Amino acid sequence: MSYIAQNEITPLVIPLTTAADGSCTATSAGRITGRLHAIQYSYGTLTGTPTITITTNDSARSVLAFTATDSTNAWYYPRAQVHDTSGTGVNYATSFPVREPAIVYNEQIKVVVADGGATKAGTITVFYTNP
């Protein structure tokens, strides 16, 4: 019997393989529910400075967008701003918003790559915790 314990950090690996024009759209094989804590970009054989956009697949919520540096792996820690009961963003002080890991419910993660080089490969790994 296998299970994932509550609050255990779980990796979700999304392989990326570009077409001849350097583009790629990849969607996670499974759906996740939980808090997104970190995203690891592994460039593999991707070349140049690819632009990478990560969203939820069904609701199209933005998770992270970045332009990668050639031949450099990277870690990112995307966060969402906390809101009060009126829908106003909460701040610690002026210009210092309160941020928490984004919450995803029963979603696939979609990754779009532009300018990654012809027929190249890399990986995005999303680290999340179950509720």
pTM for the predicted model, two decimal places:
0.89
Domains and CATH numbers, the chain: 9-129 (2.60.120)
> Residue 117 in contact with residue 45, Cβ under 8 Å?
yes
Tell me how far apart the alpha carbons of residues 37 and 124 are, in angstroms, rounded to a whole number: 13
pLDDT of residue 12: 96
Span 25-84, pLDDT tens digits = 999 999 999 999 999 999 999 998 999 999 999 999 999 999 998 789 999 999 999 999
